[in-house]
Amino acid sequence: MHAPGEKLNGSEIFFECLRRENVAYIFGYPGGALLKVYETLYDIKDIKHILVRHEQGATHMAEGYARATGKPGVVLVTSGPGATNTVTGITNAYMDSSPMVIFTGQVPSSLIGNDAFQEADIVGITRPITKHNFLVKDVRELALTIRKAFYLATNGRPGPVLVDMPKDVLNAVCTFEWPETVEIRGFKPTVKCHQNQVEKAAHLIARSKKPLLYIGGGVISSDASEELKRLAIEQNIPVTMTLQGLGAFPGDHPLSMGMLGMHGTFWANQAVNNCDLLIAVGARFDDRVTGKTDTFATQAYKIHNDIDPTNVDKNVKVDLPVVGDAKHFLAAILKEMPEEKTDRSEWLADIRAWQKQCPLTYTNESDSLKTEYVIDEVCRQTGGDAVVTTDVGQHQMWTSQYYRFRKPRSIITSGGLGTMGYGLPAAIGAAFGVTDRPVVLFCGDGGFMMNVQELVTAVYYKIPVKIFLLNNSFLGMVRQWQELFHQEKYSFTDLGDSNPDFVKVAEAFGCRAMRAENPDEAKKAISEALAWNEGPVFVEFKVIKKDMVFPMVPAGASISDMLLDRLNPKTMV
Amino acid sequence: MKHIISVLVENKFGTLNRVASMFSARGFNLASISIGETEDPEISRMTIVTRGDDQIISQVLKQLNRLIDTIKVTDLTKQPHVERELLLMTMKLSRTTQHEIFELINVFKGKVVDIKQKSITIEVIGSPDKINTTIDIFRPYGIRELARSGAVAIHRGES
């Protein structure tokens, strides 16, 4: 610990600031521009540095940690390639509004602009993919800049903030000063909702015969699950969630309708297009949710609560915008609800009928394995209480359908950007933050290979993450689109001939590994994997190649027009 | 519809880039942008001319506000405001055209800022519409080069 007033060098100030921001873990990789920082780090015991094997891995780990804990994830990488390798991870965090602070080393100030060795204009490169970024030009600005970075990353709509630190700044000495408060005149997020708007919203909710709550990741990041549960249950309002909103409301509750949108449930999408009041909270009307916007929830009066005013009227015009924090919004609504309750039994009966008409089902066969079964079985064996990370593609959508998330901060997945390779490092990062619940990864054979090097990190730090590889030997989601919309031309999506022996790969990294090829083996492997916590455990599930995720809304179609199965792809309901 | 937006921003490196790249990343029209220090050296004023329907302009204003380095965003379009642009233009000069050119300079209340045997550089200040007209009228006499500052604008009266 250092006190304000001490003479410190930039590297010492850096760590002292992280300490004061209560940083427990840094995900990082050393390099030339950071030598002084790593020299200082050598003797630091109270902040844990996790050595990754690729800087992209560090960013996804930091994001996994952030989403699992709600605390900002911290990344430390060197200049040039170290910095550019973080670009995908930063973009991912930006799209999914995850709080993250990325520290990059930079060449000495005197060399900036000279095309110096390992120089990259990372501030320029990351301007459109960060909430904000900084180049620290003077060691005297370092502490305040770090304070601002954490403040920006975690307040208002969360997001990634990058701080670029030239080598000479990290070496220079100055008197350490810690700003207790931060004032940024250009950043004043509206947290408290306008009372008039809240009262209008409450009035509409109380009177609506067919209301629907459409819940996004904002409810999870503002920690508003309890308020949501109270509102939905007390007022008998069904709840549908986006991919990032899953877990905000318990998936096993009768009012939960699961996910909406492209691979949402049939009944959730029917409810959207038949409700008379749509209450969007912390959601942004993404194209994967709305399908064709002209036909989206046309019968509904739309209330939209979001902390970011740019989300209002961006994709879908709403009737009552309420800018503010989701937790504040829901709490304020609860205060305004009248004693008298509107009868919604007819509406709930309609929804149950749609659910009966097209339930989520799959048929198991004894000699082959379906991804749906694996996810369903993991859900059963973990009681829906695991922290589940996914990669991107079919398994991700099946996870949203068959893992019934019961708690917030339980699904960690790349939603906005759709980053293959996200899952493994995100799972590792989540496991650093959460030790009282199992951390499970569902991953495809394509995405697994994109950050496979991070298996080393999991093994080295003995992270008990359950890596469930669903190997269909295909880029399954692309294959699905090729079959449905591109004349069955399976162009470069068949990985069957080129995939490695995954069990051997995992073992070579020092990971315990198993394989399962039918439901019995799968069930046994899952229970073995869940019981073993000495380090990472890897299970390869050999699943059916040609399975497709249904129901599905074709891109650009109305969410009422869902493809229900492949045998009858023209079935529009 | 054309909108003129006045933005107070932090006078820091990269701010112009943040604003300009937000316009290009989101596909907004950017007809002109001009920037200069204000009475407070820590703050610059940007004047942005853009086009779009109400929905787009509302997004433009919100996205501008969302940038951390913007302090205040005002759509001046429907408020009383003064809007000016500076034009510097070099014309060919010959015996046959010089009288007409000088007359036109008077008509547009322009100034001669440089004159040579075969060329003349003039300065005209006015609304962007007036600048457009000026250029149209002078064009037949042979424009060699021109530079426009882009509009700057300020709220009229007490705010």
**Same-domain pairing of B11 and B38:** yes
Question: Taking 90 as the threshold, does the pLDDT of residue A572 lie above it?
Answer: no
| DSSP helix/strand/coil, A163 | strand
**Same-domain pairing of B96 and B121:** yes
Per-residue DSSP letter, B139:
G
Question: Any alpha helices (H) in A292-422, and if so which ranges?
Answer: 326-336, 345-357, 371-382, 394-402
A117 catalytic? Reply is yes
The type of residue at A425 is: P
Cis amide bond preceding A551, omega within 30: yes
CB-based contact B17 A128, cutoff 8 Å: no
Using a CB–CB cutoff of 8 Å, tell me whether A138 touches chain B.
no
**Same-domain pairing of B30 and B59:** yes
User: What H or E segment, with its residue span, contains residue A143?
Assistant: helix A142-154
**Same-domain pairing of B132 and B93:** yes
Query: What's the pLDDT score for residue A566?
Result: 72
pLDDT confidence bin for A468, thresholds 50/70/90 = very high
**Catalytic entry in A55, A63, A119, A540:** A55
Query: What's the pLDDT score for residue A1?
Result: 86
**Catalytic entry in A477, A514, A552, A562:** A477
Instruction: Please count the residues of chain B.
Output: 159
Radius of gyration for chain B, computed over Cα atoms and rounded to the nearest angstrom = 18
- Name every residue whose Cβ is closer than 8 Å to that of residue B113 and which is 6 or more positions away in sequence: B88, B121, B122, B123
| Rounded mean pLDDT, A450-473 | 98
The pTM for the full model equals: 0.96
A467 strand-pairing partners: A441, A538
Contacts of A132 in chain B (CB under 8 A): 68-69
Q: Which of B75, B108, B126 is the last residue of a domain?
A: B75
Query: What's the pLDDT score for residue A571?
Result: 46
Q: Which of B10, B25, B62 sits opposite A310 (nearest CB)?
A: B62
Domains of chain A: 7-175 (3.40.50.970), 195-357 (3.40.50.1220), 371-542 (3.40.50.970)
Q: Are B158 and B83 in contact (CB under 8 A)?
A: no
Using a CB–CB cutoff of 8 Å, tell me whether A327 touches chain B.
no
Using a CB–CB cutoff of 8 Å, tell me whether A313 touches chain B.
yes
Query: What's the pLDDT score for residue A166?
Result: 98
Cα–Cα distance measured from residue B91 to residue B84, given in angstroms and rounded to the nearest whole number: 22
- Classify strands A25-28 and A7-9 as parallel, antiparallel or unpaired: unpaired
Per-residue DSSP letter, A413:
-
Percentage of chain A lying above the pLDDT 90 cut: 97
Query: What's the pLDDT score for residue A565?
Result: 82
A259 catalytic? Reply is no
Query: What's the pLDDT score for residue B94?
Result: 92
| DSSP helix/strand/coil, A9 | strand
Using a CB–CB cutoff of 8 Å, tell me whether B26 touches chain A.
no
Question: Taking 60 as the threshold, does the pLDDT of residue A262 lie above it?
Answer: yes
Residue closest to A510 by CA, chosen among A438, A455, A466, A470: A455
A133 → chain B, closest CA residue: B68
CB-based contact A310 B70, cutoff 8 Å: no
The type of residue at A107 is: V
Cα–Cα distance measured from residue A101 to residue A146, given in angstroms and rounded to the nearest whole number: 9
* CATH code where residue B91 lies: 3.30.70.1150
The type of residue at A551 is: P
Radius of gyration for chain A, computed over Cα atoms and rounded to the nearest angstrom = 24
Q: Are A88 and A56 in contact (CB under 8 A)?
A: yes
Residue closest to A469 by CA, chosen among A373, A387, A380, A543: A543
- Classify strands A301-306 and A132-135 as parallel, antiparallel or unpaired: unpaired
The vertex-A68 CA angle with A187 and A506, nearest 5°, equals 130
Cα–Cα distance measured from residue B1 to residue B79, given in angstroms and rounded to the nearest whole number: 15
Contacts of B7 in chain A (CB under 8 A): none
Using a CB–CB cutoff of 8 Å, tell me whether A487 touches chain B.
no
Query: What's the pLDDT score for residue B157?
Result: 81
Cα–Cα distance measured from residue B20 to residue B98, given in angstroms and rounded to the nearest whole number: 41
Using a CB–CB cutoff of 8 Å, tell me whether B55 touches chain A.
yes
* CATH code where residue B71 lies: 3.30.70.260
Q: Which of A127, A186, A317 sits opposite B17 (nearest CB)?
A: A127
Cα–Cα distance measured from residue A389 to residue A394, given in angstroms and rounded to the nearest whole number: 14
Contacts of B10 in chain A (CB under 8 A): 186
Contacts of B14 in chain A (CB under 8 A): 123-124, 127, 135
**Same-domain pairing of B91 and B45:** no
| Rounded mean pLDDT, A133-145 | 98
**Same-domain pairing of B71 and B88:** no
Q: Which of B26, B58, B75 is the last residue of a domain?
A: B75
Tens-place pLDDT, residues A78-129: 999 999 999 999 999 999 999 999 999 999 999 999 999 999 999 999 999 9
Query: B87 is written with which tokens?
Result: 């034009």
**Same-domain pairing of B88 and B141:** yes
Q: Are A182 and A20 in contact (CB under 8 A)?
A: no
**Same-domain pairing of B49 and B27:** yes
Q: Please return the burial class of A294, using the count of CB atoms within 10 Å of its CB with bins 0-12, 13-18 and 19+.
A: exposed
Percentage of chain A lying above the pLDDT 70 cut: 99
Question: Taking 50 as the threshold, does the pLDDT of residue A180 lie above it?
Answer: yes
Using a CB–CB cutoff of 8 Å, tell me whether B65 touches chain A.
yes
Cα–Cα distance measured from residue A321 to residue A324, given in angstroms and rounded to the nearest whole number: 10
Q: Are B14 and A123 in contact (CB under 8 A)?
A: yes
CB-based contact A309 B65, cutoff 8 Å: yes
Task: Work out the number of other CB atoms within 10 angstroms of the CB of residue A236.
Answer: 15
Please tell me the number of Cα atoms within 13 Å of A149 on its side-chain side. Answer: 30
Residue closest to A472 by CA, chosen among A402, A379, A380, A549: A549
| DSSP helix/strand/coil, A449 | helix
A55 catalytic? Reply is yes
Cα–Cα distance measured from residue A421 to residue A457, given in angstroms and rounded to the nearest whole number: 15
For residue B136, what are the domain limits? 82-155
Contacts of B44 in chain A (CB under 8 A): none
Query: B132 is written with which tokens?
Result: 């457009």
**Same-domain pairing of B10 and B44:** yes
Query: What's the pLDDT score for residue A567?
Result: 61
> Total structural domains in chain B?
2
Q: Which of B10, B22, B59 sits opposite A186 (nearest CB)?
A: B10
Work out the mean pLDDT of chain B and round it to a whole number.
Answer: 95
Cα–Cα distance measured from residue A157 to residue A434, given in angstroms and rounded to the nearest whole number: 23
Q: Which of B75, B103, B128 is the last residue of a domain?
A: B75
The type of residue at A427 is: A
Tens-place pLDDT, residues A191-202: 999 999 999 999
| DSSP helix/strand/coil, A188 | coil
Q: Are A532 and A524 in contact (CB under 8 A)?
A: no
Q: Which of B62, B67, B69 sits opposite A309 (nearest CB)?
A: B62
**Same-domain pairing of B55 and B87:** no
CB-based contact B69 A308, cutoff 8 Å: no
Q: Please return the burial class of B23, using the count of CB atoms within 10 Å of its CB with bins 0-12, 13-18 and 19+.
A: middle
Residues of chain B with pLDDT under 70: 159
Cα–Cα distance measured from residue A568 to residue A554, given in angstroms and rounded to the nearest whole number: 14
Query: What's the pLDDT score for residue A570?
Result: 46
**Same-domain pairing of B94 and B123:** yes
Cα–Cα distance measured from residue A52 to residue A59, given in angstroms and rounded to the nearest whole number: 10
In chain A, which among 226-255 make CB contacts under 8 A with chain B?
A: none
Cα–Cα distance measured from residue B131 to residue B119, given in angstroms and rounded to the nearest whole number: 20
**Catalytic entry in A131, A148, A167, A542:** A167
The type of residue at B125 is: I
Q: How many residue pairs bridge chain A and chain B with CB atoms within 8 Å of each other?
A: 40
Contacts of B25 in chain A (CB under 8 A): 128
**Same-domain pairing of B16 and B69:** yes
Contacts of A128 in chain B (CB under 8 A): 21-22, 25
C-alpha A456: how far from chain center: 23
ipTM: 0.91
**What is the phi/psi pair of residue A454, to 5°?**
-75, -5
